[in-house]
Chain A
Amino acid sequence: MAGEKTVDTTGLLGWIDKRFPLTSMVKEHMSEYYAPKNFNFWYFFGSLAMLVLVIQIVTGIFLVMNYKPDAKLAFESVEYIMREVPWGWLIRYMHSTGASMFFVVVYLHMLRGLFYGSYRKPRELVWIFGVAIFLSLMGEAFFGYLLPWGQMSYWGAQVIVNLFSAIPFIGPELAIWIRGDYVVSDATLNRFFAFHVIAIPLVLIGLVVAHIIALHEVGSNNPDGVEIKQGPKDRYGRPMDGIPFHPYYSVHDLVGVAGFLIVFAAIIFFGPEMGGYFLEYNNFIPADPLKTPPHIAPVWYFTPFYSMLRATTADFTWVLAGAAVLAAIVLFIKGNLKGVWRIAVPVILLLVAVLLRTIDAKFWGVVAMGGAVVILFFLPWLDHSPVKSIRYRPTWHKYLYAIFIVNFLVLGYLGTQAPNPTFNLMSQIGTVIYLAFFLVMPVWSRIGTFKQVPDRVTFHAH
């Protein structure tokens, strides 16, 4: 037949391959995608994040079949799912535990990227798509948390939407526009439901596809930070340090899946509330717009950022303004910015310092919280270390990473607690550490004695 593609496959597969690049896609992304053979424990979390995404989508479909997005019916419809719908309790616990485990897996996945410099050239876009996924995931979790219509759902949403009212000029109108009402109400519930089940999942899936296409274009990084494509190749031009993703890493990931499912099932069947961290106890009280709970805490995965929001008080803006002035002076005198930037950047910083003291601190709290996530987008350009992997960095870099992780966990803990003067001071210090880790990275990341990076990946046969 004229114009028909010639393919190697026959039969049904041949018929398909003439019309759709099935075999070539499977080869490109699975059986002939060469991944470095020295992946370790930390490389499980990418495929696990995919697994959790599938779990969330499938369980979500079944939940939507029985859930009622209506302020009068929502709370009891969740209990209806828990009691009357066959296996409804299992589906619901899978979904609620899945939400928390999604963040566990994604945080560990991001930490892996941080350890091994997986965001460095040429993988900047892989990282940027990844941070966009993280941001969407936060949105997805936030919208979803309103749906059970418990006290924490309601007041958590109230607090977060109120943050938008801190934006100068348009704030109050913006907050009303988001809620569709003067308080969180049925209108808010309906639109959050729409975002949770349609809008954000579509964005999320699109970004995951982009993340993987970008990754397979440039190839995976590895714990040594060595580019296997630049290493020796066999006579077919395949990297000697690489191994086909399928079957080697598909069976390898299967071990990770089994391990993950054991943890996942243990939580679902023996402690679905996870001591009040995965399912907050206050959320078993139906939403009451007239009764503010004494202590409003977001779910654990938001608490590090919530701490930074609360840390930004009027006093604290002095600290931030001081830091901005200091940065302006240092950049003007010692910075090697080119041309007009040499003047412009310090001037902008001084302007920010003035604004920090003129605009309400609440607004800067929102900026600190949002900035703490947005700053991650710039990581590829903040890190100036000559090596990618933590393995070949100076030892004190490793301590910095340790401080960063502990600091993040402490901020997370503080965010779950009712505020008091000691805790506020601690979260202010924590916020400074978090921001300084990234903002001063262009300086600290190039200092120290770096170890020799090997030519080939370190791999010990099993």
Chain B
Amino acid sequence: MIKKLLGTIALSLTCAIAFAAEGGYKLEHAPNRINDMASLQNGAKLFVNYCLGCHSANSMRYNKLTEIGLTDDQIKKNLLFTSDKVGDLMHIAMTPEDAKKWFGAAPPDLSVIARAKSTTMGPSGVDYVYTFLRTFYRDTSKATGWNNLVFPSVGMPNALWQLQGERSLERTTIHSAAQADGSSQWERTVAKYDGQGYSEIKKEVLKDYDGSPVDKAILTPADPRLQATFDNNVADLSNFLGWMAEPMQLQRKEMGVWVLLFLALFLLVAWRLNATYWKHVK
């Protein structure tokens, strides 16, 4: 009876998970390099050079980087720009008030950003950062001259543009749009942004379209080789942000294996002890 019950419950739970898909730009899966020290170190270097100018990481201490294989000397020589002690936290000089004045919004602290941007039962925050940093395109209609596919009208310009090189975007969406007469009809929009951010937008009404909404974006780099290097760098940077959000995660998983092995042994002993006691109970 109870087994049957549990079966029904398990079934209803799987349905619940299938339901949980969400909208928005589809995030790409970031390569998993969490155990790759070289990647984490490259990510740390990029982070300190390109992100730490505007974003703080107030919960992160510079010498925590020794856990990804850097020495205090290396940190001091190569990564200390905003302070002079390796024991310092990654604070920045810009105050949130100034930031708000200059950019319209204070750049968020990045200590735990990779956890904050995760989706329940969905893509991780590392996937978010990886996709976000690779989907900037030039758009002259925005104040910074930049726009983003993951975060439309984001206040942040593409800080990594020199590493990325020039790119153009062709974005096709099919969505239902309100018409002049008040009805709504399927409409196809093709927006082309060239490398300088000048756009050309074409709209057409689709009659008898009964499919699902479409959102397809094709980013074309002027130099594919540069783009490949860039993708690799962004993968390292996202990887580092993922590590920084929870620096003890590597030890945690390693320790977990031993804890579970111990508990399995404990279960075995408890089970046999129980069986011995109950052997004579009739």
Indicate whether B252 reaches chain A with its CB closer than 8 angstroms: yes
- Residue of B at shortest CB range from A151? B116
- Nearest CB of chain B from residue A152's CB, rounded to whole Å: 11
Asked if B71 CB lies within 8 Å of chain A CBs, one says no
Q: Are A252 and B281 in contact (CB under 8 A)?
A: no
Task: Knowing A83-B248, A89-B252, A402-B5, say if A275 contacts B120 (CB, 8 Å).
Answer: yes
Is B277 a contact partner of A248 (Cβ separation < 8 A)? yes
- In chain A, what residue has the closest Cβ to B1? A398
Given contact pairs A255-B270, A281-B120, A462-B278, A266 touches B13 in the complex (Cβ within 8 A): no
Which chain B residue shows the least CB distance to A80?
B59
A281-B119, A409-B9, A409-B13 are contacts. A83–B273 as well, Cβ < 8 Å?
no
User: A254 is contacted by which of B2, B109, B270 (Cβ under 8 Å)?
Assistant: B270
Chain A residues, CB < 8 A from B158: none
Can you list, as one digit per residue, whether each of A414-432 has a CB less than 8 Å from chain B (1) or not (0)? 0011000000000000000
Q: Quick one: which of A79, A252, A262 contacts B59, CB cutoff 8 A? A: A79
In chain B, what residue has the closest Cβ to A275? Answer: B121
Q: How far is the CB of B262 from chain A (nearest CB, A)?
A: 9
Question: Is A405 an interface position by the 8 A CB rule?
Answer: yes
B125 to chain A: which residues have CB within 8 Å? 281
Interface residues of B in 104-118 (CB under 8 A from A): 108-109, 111-113, 115-118
Q: Are B5 and A269 in contact (CB under 8 A)?
A: no
Contacts A83-B247, A273-B115, A405-B5; is A266 near B256 (CB within 8 Å)?
yes
Identify B259's interface contact among A259, A265, A282, A284, CB under 8 A.
A265
Query: At the interface, yes or no: B175 with Cβ under 8 Å from chain A?
Result: no
Question: Which residues from chain B contact A280 at a C-beta distance below 8 Å?
Answer: 120
Checking A80, A268, A284, A406 against B116 with a beta-carbon cut-off of 8 angstroms, the contacting residue is A284
**Residues A83 and B112 in contact in the complex (CB < 8 Å), given A251-B277, A258-B267:** no
Residue of B nearest to A395 (CB): B1
Which residues of B lie under 8 Å from residue A252 when comparing CB positions?
Answer: 274, 277-278
The reply to whether A461 and B281 form a contact with Cβ atoms under 8 Å apart is yes
Q: A73 → chain B, closest Cβ, in Å?
A: 11
CB–CB A416/B120 < 8 A: yes
Inter-chain contact A269/B12, CB cutoff 8 Å: no
B255: interface (CB < 8 Å): yes
Point out the residue from A82, A115, A248, A251 that lies within 8 Å of B246, measured CB to CB.
A82
Decide yes or no whether B214 CB sits under 8 A from chain A: no
Asked if B8 CB lies within 8 Å of chain A CBs, one says yes
CB neighbors of B among A273-317 (8 A):
273, 275-277, 280-282, 284-286
A: interface residue count bin: 35 or more
Closest Cβ–Cβ distance, residue A34 to chain B (whole Å) = 13
Contact A254 B260 (CB under 8 A): no
- Structural contact, A79 and B112, CB atoms closer than 8 A: yes
Q: Any chain B CB within 8 A of the CB of A206? A: no
Complex interface: chain B residues within 8 A of A462 (CB): 275, 278-279, 281
* Nearest CB of A to B102, in Å: 18
Q: Contacts A79-B111, A262-B263, A276-B120; is A255 near B274 (CB within 8 Å)?
A: yes
Residues of B within 8 A of A390 (CB): 1
- Report the nearest A residue to B120, measured CB to CB: A276
**Interface size for chain B: under 10, 10 to 19, 20 to 34, or 35 or more residues?**
35 or more
Checking B121, B274, B281 against A243 with a beta-carbon cut-off of 8 angstroms, the contacting residue is: B281
> Contact at B260–A276, with CB atoms within 8 Å?
no
Interface assignment of B264: CB less than 8 Å from any CB of chain A: yes
B241-275, CB under 8 A of A: which get 1 and which 0?
00001111000110111011001101100110111
C-alpha spacing A389/B275, complex, angstroms: 27
Q: Does B202 contact A (CB under 8 A)?
A: no
Which residues does chain A contribute within 8 Å of B180, judged by CB atoms?
none
B267 A255 Cβ-Cβ under 8 A = yes
Name the contact of A402 in the complex, choosing from B8, B121, B256 (C-beta under 8 A).
Answer: B8
Give min CB distance, B122 to chain A, whole Å.
8
**Contact pattern, B 55-79, Cβ under 8 Å of A = 1, otherwise 0:** 0001111001000000000000000
Interchain CB contact (< 8 A) of A284 among B2, B58, B115, B271:
B115
Q: Which residues of A contact B119 (CB under 8 A)?
A: 276, 281
Q: Does A386 lie at the interface of the complex (its beta carbon under 8 Å from any beta carbon of B)?
A: no
B residues near A258, Cβ cutoff 8 Å: 263, 266-267, 270-271
Contacting residues of chain A (29-66) with chain B, CB-CB under 8 angstroms: 37
Option from B13, B19, B122, B256 in Cβ contact (under 8 Å) with A265: B256
Query: Roughly how many angstroms separate A432 CA and B194 CA in the complex, as a whole number?
Result: 57
Contacting residues, chain B, for A213 (C-beta < 8 A): none
Closest Cβ of chain A to B66, distance in Å, is: 13
Is A413 an interface position by the 8 A CB rule? yes
CB distance from B16 to the nearest CB of A (A): 4
A49-B225 Cα distance, complex, nearest whole Å: 59
A251-B269 Cα distance, complex, nearest whole Å = 10
A261 within 8 A of B: yes
> How far apart are the CA atoms of A270 and B16 in the complex, in Å?
23
Residues of B within 8 A of A80 (CB): 59
Known: A254-B274, A284-B115, A462-B278. A269 touches B260 (CB 8 A): yes
List, in ascending order, chain A residues with CB within 8 A of B207's CB: none
The answer to whether residues A282 and B116 also contact, given A83-B59, A269-B255 and a CB cut-off of 8 A, is yes
B101 CB–A CB distance under 8 Å: no
- Cα separation A286 to B106 with both chains bound (whole Å): 13
The answer to whether A269 and B118 touch across the interface, beta carbons within 8 angstroms, is no
Q: Which residues of A contact B112 (CB under 8 A)?
A: 79, 284
A345 lies within 8 A of chain B by Cβ:
no
Which of the residues B122, B253, B267 comes within 8 Å of A259, measured between beta carbons? Answer: B267
Provided the pairs A80-B59, A273-B115 are in contact, do residues A265 and B281 lie with their beta carbons within 8 angstroms? no
- Is A410's CB within 8 Å of the partner chain B? yes
A residues near B252, Cβ cutoff 8 Å? 89, 269, 272
| CB pair A281 B111 closer than 8 Å | no
Q: How far is the CA of A416 from the CA of B58 in the complex (A)?
A: 31
User: Is B267 a contact partner of A262 (Cβ separation < 8 A)?
Assistant: yes
CB distance A406 to B9 under 8 Å? yes
Complex interface residues of chain A between 233 and 265 (CB less than 8 A to chain B): 243, 247-248, 251-252, 254-255, 257-259, 261-262, 265
Indicate if the CB atoms of B273 and A251 lie closer than 8 Å: yes
Q: What are 11 of the A-B contact pairs (CB < 8 Å)?
A: A37-B281, A262-B260, A268-B256, A269-B257, A275-B121, A277-B120, A281-B117, A402-B8, A405-B9, A409-B13, A410-B12
5 further A-B contacts with Cβ under 8 Å, apart from A262-B267, A281-B118, are: A251-B274, A252-B278, A276-B120, A281-B120, A417-B19
Q: Lowest 5 CB-CB distances: which A-B pairs, in order?
A: A269-B256, A276-B120, A258-B267, A79-B59, A284-B116
